[in-house]
């Protein structure tokens, strides 16, 4: 496991939005896009990426430390702001790692600006309607049951979140409200996205936990067929949040993929 | 005093054991437990009750709607309102209310209500609600925009009722390019709008800003007084003095010829496992974005089982004792009603008269006793206490029709 990287915090102004980001590491630029439940500040997987890359992890507007934008209505709005963030940071082109809901945002970014995304990694990505099964509806389960469902084993959840604080519960409620505000209907997918992904130039690595209870693996196959150059890898003993439950296995897939010419 | 009868129209023939085994009696509790043969019988029972209400001289019938649950069989309140418009002659048809945010097309709602008003010859009171959390989920409507949709749909319905078409509406949540409904209300400027609620501060303030009566739904006397304090303060800020004509109260009162029958039947008020809306996951009743951000912290703790329901839960006996439920003979309940009138001073009173599996015979007898032995006395007391209804006070339908606003005060939007 990697040692903790030296993360710095920045508030970047993009089109009237204040986007809080954490940044660490040296190397080619890599933007990591978080789940619908937001992200913990520190993860071993992030530190590993920062050993070989200039890693930028933004909080989407309305999540974490980034203030809500009342007008935001669709994940595509987030994707455009993330492109704006990359421009503000002077990243001409970069690789993207999208985790769950962040995978949807990453896929939108890769389709809207094909030359600016060098590599695309989608982990348990939302954004496409699964052909078999549905994306788990968080609206009818509690704040804590939904993050529980991100993991194959409860002990993996507990190792990271410990005794969940009331502040964390509130953050999950705010994150859930944001998910509703921008992805309520159809819930957590776009009917247009599969038709747009043919424009993506970047090679793509699709990674799915073999026990993803949030996004059915049929969505992985849909991404694979929609993307011109995509490889699918299934990680054993992992739920939806592969980066939290199997960080080393995920890093072993992602690092060589990003390094390959 | 305007006196009304209310029933939730319970689907009392559902399999209670199935609900307890499943652990919920709302939203996702399967409708395979709904028996349409029993449904047909019960709908017609409720219609018979409403006809009895008119026969015994009660002023109004209060209607509502809910979805995906046995506690209320009305899936579209305008359906019963339309039926009553045709089969009754005198009673006010008081919809409390149509859940505005659930409407994808508020113009359609404005048309339906206008039809009901015309067919009933001007007997419609058109209340509006936000709809419970579960209603948003059952309708697939985004709970995060509930309040915004409520206000925008309200403004659009009122505009469709009061301004000649065609006009165009390009709003945030609704866009209608040609608004020109060929059905407008008979009552002018438009049918009275009453707003029911449990205690949500934002709704109390909004109602007072419109000068719409607020109907407190079986809140405790203490909470009801807090609601009126907030309403009165907002009214003063808007330049008018609020009174009984702005205040309504829904009480659960069951009367019978003897106390034992009344108490036995009143116990049915807790038939939904002690909750008004049945057993449900807290996040169904309060989906993210639906409730006020100020209560987020208390709510998330409740939703994961770390704290008790902030609204509290009382046993049947405690509810009888504290006056959340009245049960007895007319003579026994009247002093308690008198106390309620003195303490909360409403000009509108709805009586939720029975629930659950109370027999049709006892339900009809309860209505008869209310109409002939309870309400005549309540009317006398209301006169003595100066508790005038909006009709008696001839109060304006909306703030903008007020003629008594104090100068120098800027009316709210």
For chain B, give the percent of residues with pLDDT over 90: 88
Which pLDDT band holds residue A1 (cuts at 50, 70, 90)?
A: very low
Residue B407 lies in a domain: no
Residue B252 lies in a domain: yes
What is the rounded CA–CA span in Å between residue B348 and residue A151?
54
**Buried residues in A189-207 as b, exposed as e (16+ CB within 10 A):** bbeebbebbeebebbbbbb
CA distances from B72 to A234, A237, B208, B234, B254 (A): 47, 45, 29, 33, 18
Which residue from A minimizes the CA distance to B301? A166
Predicted confidence at residue B278, as pLDDT, reads 86
Residue B297 lies in a domain: no
Residue A61: how many CB atoms within 10 A of its CB? 25
Which residues of chain B are within 8 Å of residue A143 when distances are taken between CB atoms?
Answer: 283, 300, 303-304
Which residue bears the tokens 């993991």? A151
Mean pLDDT of all residues belonging to chain B = 95
Residue B323 lies in a domain: yes
Reported as half-sphere exposure (CB side, CA atoms, 13 A), residue A126 has a value of: 29
Residue B302 lies in a domain: no
Q: Cβ distance A181 to A72 under 8 Å?
A: yes
Which residues of chain B are within 8 Å of residue A172 when distances are taken between CB atoms?
Answer: 300
- CB spacing of B300 vs A166 below 8 angstroms: yes
Residue B309 lies in a domain: no
Could you tell me which of B151, B127, B350 has the C-alpha nearest to residue B252?
B350
Which pLDDT band holds residue A4 (cuts at 50, 70, 90)?
A: confident
H helices within B140-288, ranges in order?
146-162, 201-210, 221-238, 259-266, 282-285
Predicted confidence at residue B199, as pLDDT, reads 77
What is the rounded CA–CA span in Å between residue B301 and residue B256?
42
Could you tell me which of B366, B365, B372, B363 has the C-alpha nearest to residue B44?
B363
Range of the domain at B32: 2-278+316-401
pTM, entire model: 0.95
Looking at this predicted complex, what is its ipTM? 0.94
pLDDT in tens, A27-63: 999 999 999 999 999 999 999 999 999 999 999 999 9
Walk me through the domains of chain A, giving residue ranges and CATH numbers. Answer: 8-259 (3.40.50.1820)
Q: Is the pLDDT of residue B304 over 90?
A: no
Q: Is the pLDDT of residue B93 over 60?
A: yes
Which pLDDT band holds residue B301 (cuts at 50, 70, 90)?
A: confident
Nearest CB among A139, A143, A164 relative to B137 is that of: A139
Residue B186 lies in a domain: yes
Min Cα–Cα distance to chain A from B33, Å: 20
pLDDT in tens, B267-280: 999 998 877 788 88
> Is B140 in the A-facing interface, judged by CB distances under 8 Å?
yes
Mutate to test the interface with B, among A137, A146, A180, A185 (most CBs of B within 10 A): A180
Predicted confidence at residue B71, as pLDDT, reads 94
Which pLDDT band holds residue B200 (cuts at 50, 70, 90)?
A: confident
Predicted confidence at residue A109, as pLDDT, reads 98
> Is B215 in the A-facing interface, judged by CB distances under 8 Å?
no
Q: Is the pLDDT of residue B242 over 80?
A: yes
- Contacts for B127 with CB less than 8 Å, ≥ 6 apart: B94, B95, B96, B97, B98, B193, B194, B195, B196, B215
Q: Is the pLDDT of residue B105 over 70?
A: yes
Mean pLDDT, range B5-31, rounded to an integer: 95
- CB spacing of B289 vs A139 below 8 angstroms: no
Mutate to test the interface with B, among A38, A173, A188 (most CBs of B within 10 A): A173
Residue B409 lies in a domain: no
Which residue from B minimizes the CA distance to A173? B288
Q: Cβ distance B5 to B378 under 8 Å?
A: no
Which residue from A minimizes the CA distance to B148? A70
Which pLDDT band holds residue B312 (cuts at 50, 70, 90)?
A: low
- CB spacing of B283 vs A166 below 8 angstroms: no
Q: Is the pLDDT of residue B385 over 60?
A: yes
pLDDT in tens, B22-66: 999 999 999 999 999 999 999 999 999 999 999 999 999 999 999
Q: Is the pLDDT of residue B214 over 70?
A: yes
DSSP chain A: -PPPP--EEEEEEETTEEEEEEEE--SEEEEEE-BTTB--S--HHHHHHHHHEEEEEEPPTTSTTSPP-TT--SHHHHHHHHHHHHHHTT-SSEEEEEETHHHHHHHHHHHHSGGGEEEEEEES--BS--SSS----GGGS-TTHHHHTT-SSHHHHHHHH-S--HHHHHHHHHHHHHHHHHHTTTTTB-SSHHHHGGG--S-EEEEEETT-SSS-THHHHHHHHHSSSEEEEEETT--S-HHHHSHHHHHHHHHHHHH--
Q: Cβ distance B249 to B220 under 8 Å?
A: no
pLDDT in tens, A207-252: 999 999 999 999 999 999 999 999 999 999 999 999 999 999 999 9
As given in the structure block, the two tokens for residue B68 are: 């995906």
Which pLDDT band holds residue B311 (cuts at 50, 70, 90)?
A: low
Q: What is the CATH number of the domain that holds B28?
A: 3.20.20.30
Residue B219: how many CB atoms within 10 A of its CB? 18
- For the range B319-323, what are the long-range contacts, defined as Cβ-Cβ under 8 Å and sequence gap of 24 or more? B319/B269, B319/B270, B320/B263, B320/B266, B322/B220, B323/B220, B323/B221
Which B residues 166-205 touch A at CB under 8 Å?
Answer: none
Q: Is the pLDDT of residue B226 over 60?
A: yes
Q: Cβ distance B101 to B109 under 8 Å?
A: no
- Number of structural domains (chain B) is 1
pLDDT in tens, A71-101: 999 999 999 999 999 999 999 899 999 999 9
Q: Is the pLDDT of residue B409 over 80?
A: no
Predicted confidence at residue A3, as pLDDT, reads 65
Predicted confidence at residue B92, as pLDDT, reads 98
Mean pLDDT, range B136-152, rounded to an integer: 97
What is the rounded CA–CA span in Å between residue B151 and residue B195?
12
Which residues of chain B are within 8 Å of residue A140 when distances are taken between CB atoms?
Answer: 27-28, 137, 281, 283-284
Q: Is the pLDDT of residue A2 over 60?
A: no
Helix (H) or strand (E) holding B401: none
């Amino acid at each position: 496991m990697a040692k903790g990287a030296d993360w710095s915090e920045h508030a970047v102004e993009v089109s009237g939005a204040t986007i809080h980001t954490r940044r660490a590491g040296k190397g080619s630029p890599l933007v990591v896009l978080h789940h619908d439940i937001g992200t913990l500040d520190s993860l071993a997987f992030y530190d590993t990426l920062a050993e070989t890359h200039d890693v930028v992890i933004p909080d989407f507007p309305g999540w974490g430390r980034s203030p809500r934008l009342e007008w935001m209505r669709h994940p595509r709005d987030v994707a455009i702001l993330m492109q704006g963030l990359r421009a503000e940071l002077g990243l001409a082109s970069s690789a993207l790692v999208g985790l769950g809901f962040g995978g949807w945002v990453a896929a939108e970014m890769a389709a809207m600006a094909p030359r600016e995304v060098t590599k695309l990694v989608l982990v348990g990505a939302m954004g496409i309607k699964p052909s078999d099964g549905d994306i788990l509806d968080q609206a009818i389960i509690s704040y804590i049951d939904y993050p529980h469902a991100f993991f194959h084993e409860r002990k993996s959840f507990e190792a990271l979140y410990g005794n969940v604080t009331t502040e964390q519960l509130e953050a999950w409620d705010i994150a859930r409200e944001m998910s509703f505000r921008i992805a309520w209907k159809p819930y957590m997918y776009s009917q247009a996205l599969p038709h747009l992904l043919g424009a993506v130039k970047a090679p793509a690595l699709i990674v799915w936990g073999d026990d993803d209870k949030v996004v059915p693996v049929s969505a992985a196959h849909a991404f694979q067929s929609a993307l011109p150059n995509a490889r699918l890898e299934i990680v054993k003993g992992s739920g939806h949040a592969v980066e939290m439950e199997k960080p080393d296995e995920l890093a072993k897939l992602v690092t060589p993929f990003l390094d390959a010419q | 005093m305007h006196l009304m009868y209310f029933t939730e129209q319970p689907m009392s023939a559902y399999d209670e054991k199935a609900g307890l085994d499943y652990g919920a009696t709302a939203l996702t509790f399967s409708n395979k437990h709904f028996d349409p043969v029993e449904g047909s019988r019960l709908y017609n029972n409720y219609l018979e009750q409403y006809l009895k209400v008119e026969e015994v001289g009660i002023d109004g019938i209060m209607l509502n709607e809910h979805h995906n649950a046995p506690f209320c069989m009305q899936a579209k309140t305008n359906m019963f309102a339309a039926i009553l418009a045709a089969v009754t002659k005198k009673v006010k048809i008081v919809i409390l209310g149509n859940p505005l945010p659930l409407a994808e097309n508020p113009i359609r709602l404005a048309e339906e209500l206008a039809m009901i008003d015309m067919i009933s010859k001007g007997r419609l009171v058109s209340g509006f609600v936000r709809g419970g959390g579960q209603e948003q989920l059952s309708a697939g409507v985004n709970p995060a925009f509930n309040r915004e949709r409520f206000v925008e749909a309200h403004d659009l319905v009122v505009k469709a009722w009061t301004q000649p078409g065609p006009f165009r509406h390009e709003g945030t949540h609704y866009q209608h390019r040609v608004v020109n409904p060929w059905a407008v209300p008979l009552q002018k400027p438009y049918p009275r709008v009453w707003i029911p609620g449990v205690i949500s501060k934002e709704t109390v303030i909004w109602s007072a800003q419109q000068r719409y009566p607020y109907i407190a739904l079986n809140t405790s006397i203490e909470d009801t007084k807090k609601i009126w304090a907030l309403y009165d303060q907002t009214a003063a800020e808007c330049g008018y003095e609020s009174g009984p004509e702005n205040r309504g109260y829904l009480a659960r009162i069951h009367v019978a010829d003897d106390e034992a029958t009344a108490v036995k039947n009143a116990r049915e008020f807790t038939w939904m496992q002690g909750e008004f809306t049945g057993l449900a996951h807290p996040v169904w009743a309060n989906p993210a974005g639906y409730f006020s951000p100020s209560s987020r912290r208390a709510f998330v703790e409740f939703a994961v089982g770390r704290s008790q329901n902030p609204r509290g839960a009382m046993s049947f006996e405690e509810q009888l004792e504290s006056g959340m439920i009245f049960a007895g003979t007319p003579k026994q309940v009247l002093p308690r009603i008198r106390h309620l009138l003195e303490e909360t001073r409403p000009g509108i009173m709805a009586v939720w008269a029975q629930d659950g599996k109370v027999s049709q015979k006892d339900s009809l007898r309860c209505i008869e006793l209310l109409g002939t032995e309870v309400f005549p006395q309540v009317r006398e007391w209301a006169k003595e206490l100066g508790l005038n209804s909006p009709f008696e006070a001839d109060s304006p339908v909306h703030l903008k029709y007020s003629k008594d606003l104090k100068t120098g005060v800027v009316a709210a939007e």
